[in-house]
Chains A and B, each alone.
Chain A
Amino acid sequence: MTAPLPRLPRPLRLAALPLPLPPLSLFLGAVTRRMVKSHPEMTRRLGDYGGHRFLIDPLDLPWLLLLHPADAAMTAHRRARPPAHDARIAGPLSAFLAMMHGAEDGDALFFSRDLTVEGDTAAVLALRNAIDDAELDLAEELATLSGPLATPLRGLLTGAERATGLTLHRMTRLDDFA
């Protein structure tokens, strides 16, 4: 992929502003638990770094996300009150999603300054490598979680992907990189 990374469209950013954090954290926790459970090799690759707290900072969202792999937990936090953490990774939401789905290379995003890292660099590297090997697919995880609504949700997510430029599904075919 050579085009500049897309930024979250302004209407979506504004829509995200008033979202209450507790239900958002419940939702993020459910997705994270499901991913950790269905990809046990991710926990093995993380090793001791699973106990670290990773602050994910999607710069075009109004909140910060705290990932604690050992508890399979992810919570949302106001930017004004960042939680304690061992490492911070910052960049546009599209960079995180593209890296997670195998569309972008983490080192290349670092070279281009799209991603910045602070704190425990080794923990960040372990997390990046564990997620890359797990071949996660957010769209599929969300569809599975939504039970009978899976089919319409898949369609909705495909449309959202097209409209926003965000990578919401795993890159599986070489053509995806064209």
Chain B
Amino acid sequence: MMELVCPAGTPAALRAAVEAGAHAVYCGFADETNARNFPGLNFTPEDMAEAVTFAHARGAKVLVAINTFPRAGAEPLWHRALANAEAAGADAVILADIGLLAHAADRHPALRRHLSVQAAAANPDAINLYASAFGVRRVVLPRVLTVQEIAAINREIDVETEVFVFGGLCVMAEGRCSLSSYATGKSPNMNGVCSPASHVAYAEEGRDLAARLGGFTIHRTPKGAPAPYPTLCKGCFTSDGQTGHIFEDPVSLDATQLIPELAKAGVSALKIEGRQRSRAYVAQVVRAFRAAVEAQAAGRPMPETMLARLTEGQKATTGAYAKTWR
């Protein structure tokens, strides 16, 4: 069966994921070392140790995301996160930075290393370099590849691949995007905050809901229309008299129906996005996808997930997996 890798922003969400059928749960520490560094989220080292004990007792793995890029001079924070993940008994760490990968391979050789999507490794040459130089065993592929491209990559590499199947859809070269940094001065890649809440403001203006990031108005949502996340890549802008979503519509990924094709393409693990979401989201999405991977393993048709209400834009896309570019 394909491995189902599920998000947890809190210990309660981790328990919900495991009880709903997650094979593995990914989570991070409450600091800049992980790419979901939002207020009130994440794990202390003590939380992490308890979470690993809970998950292991129920046959699930815990993968610790330490997937931001360390600031020069502040490396000890990232090094401590690696040591704390190993001490907690984590099954793997998910890393993006080359320096941190080298440190992990050198100081924590027994700790399994996965390559974060933040590394944006999207071709066999890059992936094979990470595998040979740093002993990476699995790579999380960027959300910009078609199923055919994933199959072609898998033919030329020896490590496992993991792909996103549900949730928020980053359409940029992940780990390289500077849109949010430009608007807020805080970096998704180094501070772990894309569209940091401290820089987001909402205001009811007439019949519209205006969303601003760092003072820039990025959406005006009419009354009754679904509200999107305040991210620039899905902002609605006016240029040359035309108004529209320049980069991507505010929709979410749902690749349930592509799971059999992804399995044929050689994908080992399926990832659900949403460490910033509640335990209600985690429980419902994980349960739906556990049913889907079980159906795939048994050769049955894919079930309908009925999860649109939980998604940004309240509608789903298959993203780049079957993309017709404008």
Contact, CB under 8 Å: A116 / B202? yes
- Cα distance, A133 to B311, chains bound together (Å): 21
Q: Can you list 28 A-B pairs with a CB-CB distance of less than 8 A?
A: A2-B306, A47-B39, A49-B39, A49-B40, A102-B12, A102-B16, A102-B280, A102-B283, A104-B278, A104-B280, A105-B278, A105-B281, A106-B278, A107-B312, A108-B309, A111-B228, A111-B313, A113-B224, A116-B204, A118-B204, A123-B39, A128-B278, A132-B12, A133-B11, A135-B12, A171-B283, A174-B20, A174-B287
Q: Which of B12, B203, B204, B314 contacts A111 (CB 8 A)?
A: B314
Q: Does B125 contact A (CB under 8 A)?
A: no
Q: Does B197 contact A (CB under 8 A)?
A: yes
Chain B residues with Cβ under 8 A from A113's Cβ?
A: 209, 221, 223-227
Interface of B is mostly: mixed
Contact, CB under 8 Å: B226 / A111? yes
Contact, CB under 8 Å: B40 / A127? yes
- Cα distance, A111 to B196, chains bound together (Å): 18
Contact, CB under 8 Å: B283 / A111? no
Chain B residues with Cβ under 8 A from A45's Cβ?
A: 10, 40
Chain B's nearest CB lies how many Å from the CB of A106? 6
Contact with A along B290-314 (1 / 0, CB 8 A): 0000000000000000100111111
Q: Which of B11, B20, B196, B277 contacts A122 (CB 8 A)?
A: B196
Given A129-B40, A129-B41, A118-B280 contact (CB < 8 Å) = no
Contact, CB under 8 Å: A125 / B11? no
Q: Identify the A interface with B (CB < 8 A).
A: 2, 45-47, 49, 99, 102-108, 110-113, 116-118, 121-130, 132-135, 171, 174, 177
Given A129-B10, A132-B12, A133-B12, A111-B312 contact (CB < 8 Å) = yes
Chain A residues with Cβ under 8 A from B198's Cβ?
A: 121-122
Contact, CB under 8 Å: A130 / B281? no
The listed residue with most A CB atoms (<10 A of its CB), out of B196, B223, B278, B310, is B278
Q: Does B268 contact A (CB under 8 A)?
A: no
- Cα distance, A2 to B278, chains bound together (Å): 16
Chain A residues with Cβ under 8 A from B277's Cβ?
A: 105, 107
Contact, CB under 8 Å: A103 / B280? yes
Interface of A is mostly: helix
Q: Does B320 contact A (CB under 8 A)?
A: no
Contact, CB under 8 Å: A130 / B40? yes
Which residues 1-59 of B sit at the A interface, judged by CB distance below 8 A?
Answer: 9-13, 16, 19-20, 38-41
- Cα distance, A68 to B76, chains bound together (Å): 36
Chain A residues with Cβ under 8 A from B110's Cβ?
A: none
Chain B residues with Cβ under 8 A from A128's Cβ?
A: 40, 278
Q: Does B170 contact A (CB under 8 A)?
A: no
- Of the four ranges (under 10, 10 to 19, 20 to 34, 35 or more), the interface on chain B belongs to 35 or more
The listed residue with most A CB atoms (<10 A of its CB), out of B38, B196, B284, B287, is B284
- Cα distance, A124 to B209, chains bound together (Å): 17
Chain A's nearest CB lies how many Å from the CB of B49? 15
- Cα distance, A102 to B15, chains bound together (Å): 13
Chain B's nearest CB lies how many Å from the CB of A150? 25
Q: Which of B16, B40, B280 contacts A46 (CB 8 A)?
A: B40
Contact, CB under 8 Å: B280 / A105? yes
Chain A residues with Cβ under 8 A from B224's Cβ?
A: 113
Chain A's nearest CB lies how many Å from the CB of B55? 16
Q: Does B279 contact A (CB under 8 A)?
A: yes
- Cα distance, A132 to B279, chains bound together (Å): 7
Contact, CB under 8 Å: A126 / B39? yes
Contact, CB under 8 Å: B39 / A129? yes
Contact, CB under 8 Å: A125 / B280? no
Given A111-B227, A122-B196, A125-B197, A102-B279 contact (CB < 8 Å) = yes
Chain B's nearest CB lies how many Å from the CB of A171? 7
Chain A residues with Cβ under 8 A from B12's Cβ?
A: 102, 132-135
Which residues 190-243 of B sit at the A interface, judged by CB distance below 8 A?
Answer: 196-198, 200-204, 209, 221, 223-229
Q: Does B276 contact A (CB under 8 A)?
A: yes
Q: Which of B229, B276, B280 contacts A177 (CB 8 A)?
A: B280
Chain A residues with Cβ under 8 A from B40's Cβ?
A: 45-47, 49, 125-130, 133
Contact, CB under 8 Å: B38 / A125? yes
